[in-house]
Structure formats: C-alpha cells, structure tokens
Structure 1
C-alpha cells in the first residue's frame, strides 16, 4: 500500500529526532493504549498485519498530526468498528448501546498466560526458507493494495540475504 506511513528515504520530512533515554511510555494514557491493543487481540478478530494495515489507512493529515500511540489508538478504533465489537456511536459517546454478554472477556488473572502463549506473528518451522544467507535477491516492485512489509525505498532494489 502506498501511503503516508511509508516515508522512509523521503526528502523534506526533516531528521528523525532520537530522544536520549526515551521511556517506553511518555504518559500513562500511552500504556493504556498499548494494553488495550493487547487485550483486544484476545478476540482474535484480526492479526498483526491487519493491525498494521489499520494504522496505514489513517487519513494522511491525521497520520502526520498524530503521535505514535495516537496512531495505535485510531487503528484500534477502526478495527473494533470494522469487526462489529463497538459501534461508531459507542466510540463517540463512550457508552455501550447494549449490555455486553461477558463472553470473550480477558480477565486480569488470564492476562499473563495469554501473553505468554500469544504469538502475534510466526513462521511455520516446517516450511523451509525460500532464500538462504548470502543469496542475492531482487525485491519486487509491486504496489500492494493492502499491507506489505516491503517499504517503497526497497522496491525493485537488489540485495543480499543477511541472516535466516
């Protein structure tokens, strides 16, 4: 997907400011957004690539104005609505339109176990790698409509596989 999220190598965006000793969360609300994303993953309505794609679909003006965790919150809101877990009205008002059934609730006592076994992205060990370290490759120059892990600056470029 060609979008504002794929800015690597673009001119005119200024330097990437690196904060020395940057904390994981600058504010408590950021930690809550992170926790919400993990907890909502319990429903298994989307996977890690769908989560990334939701953030990639944020309108460009919003995307550029949002902080890192604001993007995560907006992407989560989109996924919750698209998967029928909340309605736009519920998001806007902060009030449920109907009583929840209680099914599919991640209880505090279950969190550690869920996070321990939850693998957000994995490769099957029994599927052999297509390329081996040291092999020369040519990245495709395609423009996927959905999420892709191939950034624009690498499309159509030659490279060497570094590690398995």
Structure 2
C-alpha cells in the first residue's frame, strides 16, 4: 500500500511550481528551518537514528498533516517521533 508521500501517477495536485517565490539566496526561509536541519544532522551523526528511520518517520505522518506541512515541518515531526521511539524523551514530553 502506498503512503501519502508516494504520489506517482496520481492527478489533481495542480501544476508543479518550479520557481521560488522569494528572492532569498539562503537555503532556509526561516531560522527555525536551519535549526531543524542542524538538529537532524547531529542526531544522525551521533547515531541516535539513521536516515532510513528518519525517512520512515516522515512518511508515516497522517496524510492530512503530511500534505499541510512544509518540508522542514515534516523533518521536525520525524525528529520528534524518533526521539520518542528511541527513548531519548518521554512520550508526550515535547508536546506544546
């Protein structure tokens, strides 16, 4: 069964936007995105989880949340899920 991120062959998502709406030359649109990127890099480097586990956590987001989330919001969701799965934080500790 395909997950929500696997939209190959599906229609109805509208045209693909191939230009960035901003004039930013920075790789991130907000400071928090850079922090999420750095946090993920550190956790992978330290062996808390690997990239396969990270990808799986992103892809298991509920479909509505996945479609409504930005790229780094999906990353942040995956980090939170994995930190709980690995016992680094208690379930619900990062809520709110």
Same fold (TM over 0.5): yes
Superposed, 1:61-76 pairs within 5 Å as: 61-76=64-79
2:40 is aligned to 37
Superposed, 1:8-157 pairs within 5 Å as: 8-20=8-20, 23-92=26-95
- Alpha-carbon shift at residue 18 of structure 1 (Å): 1.7
1:3 is aligned to 3
Cα RMSD, aligned residues only: 1.8
Structure 1 segments unaligned to the other structure (5+ residues): 94-164
CA distance in 1, matches of 2:8, 2:30: 27
Structure 2 segments unaligned to the other structure (5+ residues): none
1:134 is aligned to none
Query: How many residues were matched structurally?
Result: 93
CA distance in 1, matches of 2:93, 2:78: 16
Q: In terms of Rg, which structure is larger?
A: 1
Runs of 4+ aligned residues of structure 1 deviating over 3 Å after TM superposition are 20-23
- Tell me the TM-score normalized by structure 1: 0.52
